[in-house]
Homo-oligomer: A and B are copies of this chain.
Amino acid sequence: MKAAFIGLGVMGYPMAGHLKNAGIDVCVYNRTAEKAQRWVEQYKGSMAQSPAAAASGCDVVLSCVGNDDDVRQVLLGDAGALSTMRSGALLIDHTTASATLAREINSAAAAGGVGFLDAPVSGGQAGAENGALTVMVGGEGSDYEAVKPVFESYSKFSKLLGPAGSGQLAKMVNQVCIAGIVQGLAEGLNFAQKAGLDGAALIETISKGAAGSWQMDNRFETMLADQYEFGFAVDWMRKDLGIAIAEAKNNGADLPVAELVDSFYAEIQEMGGARWDTSSLLARLTRK
């Protein structure tokens, strides 16, 4: 199998590496060529000067870039991957982007006989490095089955959730749930600090019950230590919540807390915390 991987950020770089380590012939493209050069040296793959050149002759093309505009450029642009993909090939976008864009790419791909899956991931940088991501997939069942072994090289779980766009919609639900969880946790820990409670003893007591969450288990220590220089950046969370809020205007869903938390993240950006982990909602309460 011959594959192209477009976008070697903190997620794409190790994902493309797992793909290569699984025995697949991988050609990479990255806007900053130095990073592609480093990847080629580390994994003994090849690189190309454009998405179109990387995608040429491939069975599968994967992308993981920044936002809708980036996806549009690397897949649909003049030197975009779709311009050289052959009929029968599969295009997979791992970027968290809008469902509207996913449907647009799906149509453009179908016009050239190319199958498309929108496939945003969760699990963060650690999940990408450890090959333990979760992949939320939208598209056709036959395309998903064909590419499932590829996903298995860097994920612990993948699932087809419906037609084109469904992967993106699922990722939006994921981020909306997280917004409420993290703000609730931030308010709870801020209250605990103001009340003079021992945070570690408190969390030991409440984390196994109805207040328990992945965020509580994995973030309370760093939150109580006022450490946010790691993890999933506020900038990225705002991008994702913005996509969810825009989509909710279309489908009529109410997102009062997601919208409020998005405004809190905007305050954190103004505090200089654009690169802080999403758990910095506590810093907004403690550092002001």
Contact = CB atoms under 8 A, between A and B. Distances in A.
Interface of A: 99, 122-124, 134, 136, 157, 159, 161-162, 166, 169-170, 172-185, 187-198, 201-202, 204-206, 208-216, 218, 232, 244, 247-248, 251-258, 260-261, 285
Nearest to A205: B159
A161 to B, nearest CB: 6
Q: How many protomers of this protein does the assembly include? A: 2
Contacts of A191: 169, 172-173, 176, 244, 247-248, 251, 253, 255
A258 B184 contact: yes
Given A99-B195, A177-B211, A177-B216, 10 more contacts: A123-B210, A136-B205, A159-B201, A159-B204, A161-B201, A180-B181, A180-B183, A180-B185, A194-B248, A257-B257
B260 A190 contact: no
B176 A134 contact: no
A173 B201 contact: no
A255 B185 CA distance: 11
18 contacts: A122-B210, A134-B205, A159-B204, A162-B197, A173-B192, A174-B210, A174-B211, A177-B188, A180-B182, A180-B183, A180-B188, A180-B257, A181-B213, A183-B184, A187-B256, A190-B254, A193-B253, A194-B252
Nearest to A203: B173
A253 B252 CA distance: 33
Contact of A209 (B214, B248, B260): B214
A207 to B, nearest CB: 9
B173 A209 contact: no
Residue of A178, A183, A208 with most partner-chain B CB within 10 A: A183
